[in-house]
Amino acid sequence: MKRPHIRQHLTGDRGSASAEFVIATPAILFLVLLIIQFGLWSHATHIAQAAAAHGLAAARINDGTAAKGTRAAEDTLTRLGQGPLRDTHVTTTRTAATASVDLDGVTSTVIPFLELPVHALATGPVERFVDGVQ
């Protein structure tokens, strides 16, 4: 009579909910952190694009220079990118016909050792004054 009672304890699923909880909780937390990391990367990408656009606007105007474009991009990064974007590097070039701002950086990490790169490039023609003579 005692044998079925012992077998029931040995083959039952008592305590399985705790084991499932121990396995599922870290997986769910990792997925939540992954979603947050992706959102942070997306935000950092938008900041980099805005900084590159501001730098391009300063570099391509009639009296603009590459140095003014770099300064404008770095000022925008200082105002917007203090949290989500770090280790930034801005390169601005201006020729007689075009100007471009190239920005590289890294997203701040939520998940350890996961550093996502951020890149933005803005290119456009340089403004030129043309006399109104026809």
* Residue-wise pLDDT tens digits, 58-93: 999 988 899 999 999 999 999 986 788 999 999 999
Q: Are 57 and 127 in contact (CB under 8 A)?
A: no
Q: What is the pLDDT of residues 99-130, one digit of tens each?
A: 999 999 999 999 988 889 999 999 999 988 77
Q: Is 119 inside a domain boundary?
A: yes
Q: Is 60 inside a domain boundary?
A: yes
Q: Is 100 inside a domain boundary?
A: yes
- Separation in Å, CA 85 to CA 43, 72, 81: 9, 16, 5
Band the pLDDT of 132: cuts 50, 70, 90.
Answer: confident
The two structure tokens encoding residue 100? 């471009």
- Check residue 110 and report its DSSP letter: S
- In this prediction the pTM is 0.78
The two structure tokens encoding residue 39? 């959102």
Q: Is 132 inside a domain boundary?
A: no
Band the pLDDT of 7: cuts 50, 70, 90.
Answer: low
Q: At 40, which CATH number?
A: 3.30.1300
Q: Is 85 inside a domain boundary?
A: yes
Q: Is 43 inside a domain boundary?
A: yes
Give yes or no for residue 30 having a pLDDT over 70. Answer: yes
Give yes or no for residue 2 having a pLDDT over 60. Answer: no
More confident residue, 42 or 62: 42
Q: Specify the number of domains making up the chain.
A: 1
**Residues near 46 by Cβ (< 8 Å), separated by ≥ 6?**
none
Q: How many helices (H) and strands (E) does the chain have?
A: 3, 3
Residue 36 belongs to domain spanning: 2-125
CA 134 to chain centre: 49
